[in-house]
Chain A
Amino acid sequence: MGFFDALMKGLKGLFRKKQMSIGIYGPPNAGKTTLANRISRDWTGKPLGKASDIPHETRKAKERKEVIIKAAGSKINFNIIDTPGIATKIDFHNFVENHGMNKTDARNRAKQATEGVIEAIKWLDRVDGVLLVMDAAQDPFNQVNVTLLGNLEARKLPTVIIANKIDLEEASPATIRDAFPQHATIPISALSGYGMDNLYKAMIKYFG
């Protein structure tokens, strides 16, 4: 490490905030809440929210403070925020036709989901870093991923891309890595816990 790097690191240490707020972002159903729960359980013993195969289960941001992660010989006190999935459209018919919900419930869910998206966007102003969760079995060039990454880059927010669901046969973390070569991509299965050690190391490295 050069003198300048050492100095910067020392200064950073002096002024480091007590907590680093990390937002878990991504499109609906990427596995954000499953990941938030796993991180929270691993380090605090408590889950954070309810995961579901029905999109827009998380319609309000949820926060877990004092998530002290130890990896690679360091530890950082994180504040983990699970955010509602960001979408460009929300069609309540989807909840009725594909998830057997009645129309009133479906319309309420859709309404809350629109508010959730707005809340998730607002949280971008308050986070110090982002875990951007993508479903590795799906097309990485989806508009939400691309728009989010563009904004994270413009704001210079440290970002780690999560290639989630690699337990699925169709999953291709390499496709995500090729699509966004400018960022670190960590392949995991939030469901099984595979790859979490690598993720914790990456969080220390990129958010520390």
Chain B
Amino acid sequence: MKRVLKEGDRKGVSINLISTEKLDELGSEKIRFILDQVKEGRVLVLEKGLSPSEELDLIRITMSEIDHDSFIGVETPGFTGNVVKLGLLQRLLGRAPPPRMMVVGPAHLLKTIKKDGRTIQAMILTRDDREGYEDDVDDITGEGPEGSLGGPEEE
């Protein structure tokens, strides 16, 4: 087995940890940055997740960029403020708690397995999980496996 996987090697999936500082620095470019990375096939772990309105923006822009051959959307396991019980003061102020850790990845590579308020299990799909899909896409697009995608059935 190879010990070092270079980016772009289809046998490896790049997992990028993005710090709060980086996310804050990105400001309004945050969603664009995330989507560009995810469309490159990377899985991002965000130290500070997205706010609800940013999450909705991510969904909206994702939908406008799905092309059905190379990008079928995002998978975004993450903890959310709703799940956490708010403190009395926060509740009185009607304030949502700050966003928490979140993972964003391409839906054909990443699948959320189990989620409760405390623990999230996600899985990076291996080639085998995706095999059937790759053959399937090849005969539509005429492209090699590089342009292909796969994924579990939709929820």
Contact with B along A85-105 (1 / 0, CB 8 A): 011111111101110000100
B40 interfacial by beta-carbon distance below 8 Å: no
For the complex, give the distance between the alpha carbons of A107 and B72 in Å.
11
Say whether B60 contacts A110, CB under 8 Å. Answer: no
B15 cross-chain contacts in A, Cβ below 8 A: none
Say whether A88 contacts B82, CB under 8 Å. Answer: no
Q: CB within 8 Å of B: which of A159-199?
A: 179-182
A27 cross-chain contacts in B, Cβ below 8 A: 155
Say whether B56 contacts A147, CB under 8 Å. Answer: yes
Say whether B96 contacts A141, CB under 8 Å. Answer: no
Q: What class of interface size applies to chain B in its complex with A?
A: 35 or more
B64 cross-chain contacts in A, Cβ below 8 A: 114, 118
B73 interfacial by beta-carbon distance below 8 Å: yes
B74 cross-chain contacts in A, Cβ below 8 A: 88-89
Say whether A150 contacts B155, CB under 8 Å. Answer: no
A154 interfacial by beta-carbon distance below 8 Å: yes
B68 interfacial by beta-carbon distance below 8 Å: yes
Say whether A114 contacts B136, CB under 8 Å. Answer: no
For the complex, give the distance between the alpha carbons of A117 and B117 in Å.
26
B82 cross-chain contacts in A, Cβ below 8 A: 146, 149-150, 153, 180, 182
Residues of chain B at the chain A interface (Cβ within 8 Å): 51-53, 55-56, 58-60, 62-64, 66, 68, 72-78, 80-83, 85-86, 94, 96, 107-108, 112, 114-117, 133, 136, 140, 150-151, 153-155
A55 interfacial by beta-carbon distance below 8 Å: yes
21 of the cross-chain contacts (CB-CB < 8 Å) are A27-B155, A87-B155, A88-B75, A89-B62, A90-B66, A90-B72, A91-B107, A91-B108, A93-B136, A93-B150, A110-B68, A121-B59, A141-B117, A143-B77, A147-B80, A150-B51, A150-B82, A151-B52, A151-B53, A153-B52, A154-B52
A28 cross-chain contacts in B, Cβ below 8 A: 154-155
Closest to B56 in A: A151
B76 cross-chain contacts in A, Cβ below 8 A: 88, 143
Closest to B57 in A: A121
Say whether B53 contacts A89, CB under 8 Å. Answer: no
A93 cross-chain contacts in B, Cβ below 8 A: 133, 136, 150-151, 153
The residue that B115 contacts in the complex, of A103, A121, A141, with Cβ under 8 A, is A141
Closest to B73 in A: A89
A115 cross-chain contacts in B, Cβ below 8 A: 63
Top 5 closest pairs, chain A to chain B, by CB: A89-B73, A150-B52, A89-B107, A114-B63, A147-B55
B55 cross-chain contacts in A, Cβ below 8 A: 143, 147, 150-151
For the complex, give the distance between the alpha carbons of A87 and B56 in Å.
10
Contact with B along A54-97 (1 / 0, CB 8 A): 01000000000000000000000000000000111111111011
Closest to A146 in B: B80
Say whether A88 contacts B83, CB under 8 Å. Answer: no
Closest to A153 in B: B96
